[in-house]
């Protein structure tokens, strides 16, 4: 698979999001009302507002925020590919977004036909980044001006869509896909559902960034597996501080 995909022209990414405030009660009265309207059709009538907000606000760009964006890119070294990883994380979401958008602009100058790569980034990560950037009134780089692209021209390589093979009803988690493809992944001490708690209660952004980088690495290994080339070894992974 993927014979036309150049590894060095991929910008791999993953984001971690949390509720925008520590608790539902910290929202303004207007936003509390709008939250109830947002989830009215999906939440049980008896569901507690506080619990629903803690569990779900992080998946909605209108009520969540990005606390970490991790990226990865392949680099050929001694005829073997390395993966270089970098994370942007901060309590100030604008700082996180500015760091990432600046990197996208630089990557676009070097590789005008590059593609974003990730798992479920077409439906989640990229739209979330774009929406939060617009909320902060930040300028989107050309590759994220998605309204200019026809659906088949979007510069996105999504491993979820690769695995669907045209079956758009099918969903598979990154964790399950790596398992069935025979890719060993490090055991995580947290999962996506715990990020909000780790952020708001433990204030441990570095722990979140480490978890986020592992997802980027998992996507990199999947792409190599799809291309039927050797997987990365531990020495092939470089973390850029």
| Tokens 């093979």 found at | 165
| Tokens 């390589």 found at | 157
Give the chain's length. Answer: 241
Q: Find the DSSP H helices in 111-204.
A: 126-135, 159-164, 174-180, 195-200
Q: Assign residue 9 a region: left if phi > 0, alpha if psi is -120 to 50, beta otherwise?
A: alpha
200 vs 183: CA distance, rounded Å: 32
Class of domain 7-20+63-240: alpha beta
Tens of pLDDT along the chain (241 residues)? 888 899 999 999 999 999 999 999 999 999 999 999 998 877 666 578 899 999 999 999 999 999 999 999 999 888 889 999 999 999 999 999 999 999 999 999 999 999 999 999 999 999 999 999 999 999 999 999 988 788 778 899 999 999 999 998 899 999 999 999 999 877 677 888 889 999 999 999 999 999 999 999 999 999 999 999 999 999 999 999 8
pLDDT of the residue at 45: 63
| Tokens 């709008």 found at | 34
Cβ-based burial of 121 (10 A; exposed 0-12, middle 13-18, buried ≥19) = buried
């Amino acid at each position: 698979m993927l014979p036309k995909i150049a590894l060095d022209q991929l910008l791999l990414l993953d984001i971690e999001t949390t509720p925008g405030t520590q608790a539902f009660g910290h929202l303004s009265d207007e936003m509390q009302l709008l939250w109830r309207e947002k989830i009215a059709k999906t939440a049980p009538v008896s569901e507690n507002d506080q619990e629903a907000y803690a569990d779900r606000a992080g998946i909605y760009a209108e009520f969540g925020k990005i606390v970490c964006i991790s990226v990865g890119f392949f680099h050929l070294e001694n005829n073997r590919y390395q993966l270089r990883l970098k994370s942007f994380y901060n309590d100030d979401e604008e700082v996180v977004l500015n760091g990432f958008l600046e990197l996208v602009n630089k990557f676009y100058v070097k590789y005008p036909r590059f593609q974003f790569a990730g798992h479920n980034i077409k439906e989640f990560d990229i739209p979330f980044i774009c929406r939060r950037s617009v909320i902060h009134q930040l300028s989107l780089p050309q590759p994220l001006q998605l309204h200019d692209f026809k659906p088949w021209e979007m510069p996105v390589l999504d491993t979820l869509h690769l695995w669907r093979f045209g079956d758009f009803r099918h969903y598979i988690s990154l964790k399950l896909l790596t398992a069935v493809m025979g890719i060993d992944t490090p055991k995580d001490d947290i999962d996506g559902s715990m990020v909000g708690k780790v952020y708001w209660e433990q204030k441990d952004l570095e722990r979140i960034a480490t978890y986020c980088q592992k997802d980027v690495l998992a996507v990199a290994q999947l792409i190599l597996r799809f291309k039927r080339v050797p997987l990365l070894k531990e020495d092939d992974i470089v973390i850029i501080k």
